[in-house]
A and B are shown apart, each in its own frame.
Chain A
């Protein structure tokens, strides 16, 4: 059974960098079958795709966040990570990691983690 689990600080100060890790079990992040993705959902609002990384290191990011986002993959640890710099209160959200099936762009989600940006 494939599982994804987010981890990282639940509270980040404004202007600092938000860092989250997604640990994958049940499948290798080196599998060419999936993109490894981050999505967020501000409280009471809709889903927003942040970006993804492929096992090769290829990435694609939402243009609205591109200047602040880095997503990377660590095949040795079977993990992938999100870094979002210069955060503000508008970045407060539940952050989900997910695997995207490359053949049909469907998402399978982790449980999500709430990150609050506040001093």
Chain B
């Protein structure tokens, strides 16, 4: 498996909520709690927003919520703000003879 599956783009209006999915297999997302989410603004480094499926690092807004069901993890952003417009990537530990971690293809969030 080369990458976790994410939608290419999602959009929402200020104040609304959106959800980004991240689909893998039982060897990665479905088998472990080691799912993380990253926010990347243009020209900037990714920033950790969620780890261990649903935990937030210190300083990350509680508008960001992570969850998982089966082989699909989700990132929900509530109360959308203009500053949330960015690319979002998921990652997961993977049980493999060769790889330890796998990334999603990324989702472009547009705040309308």
* Contact of A109 (CB < 8 Å), options: B45, B92, B99, B103: B45
**Given A48-B103, A49-B103, A63-B99, do A105 and B93 touch, yes or no (CB 8 Å)?**
yes
Indicate if the CB atoms of A109 and B100 lie closer than 8 Å: no
| Chain B residues closer than 8 Å to A112, beta-carbon distance | 45
Indicate if the CB atoms of B99 and A62 lie closer than 8 Å: yes
Stretch at the interface among B16-24, B46-54, B77-85: B46-54
**Given A101-B51, A105-B93, A112-B45, do A60 and B36 touch, yes or no (CB 8 Å)?**
no
Give the total of B residues in contact with A, Cβ under 8 Å: 25
Please give the residue numbers on chain B whose beta carbons come within 8 Å of chain A beta carbons, in ascending order.
Answer: 3, 33-34, 36, 38, 44-48, 51-52, 89, 91-93, 98-106
Name 11 A/B residue pairs within 8 A (Cβ), A-sorted: A46-B3, A46-B105, A49-B102, A60-B98, A104-B52, A105-B101, A106-B51, A106-B91, A107-B36, A109-B47, A111-B45
Indicate if the CB atoms of B89 and A100 lie closer than 8 Å: no
Contact with B along A86-119 (1 / 0, CB 8 A): 0000000000100011001111111110000000
Indicate if the CB atoms of B34 and A107 lie closer than 8 Å: no
| Chain A residues closer than 8 Å to B99, beta-carbon distance | 49, 62-63
Given A66-B98, A111-B45, 4 more A-B residue pairs with CB atoms under 8 Å apart are A49-B102, A100-B101, A106-B34, A109-B47
CB distance from B87 to the nearest CB of A (A): 9
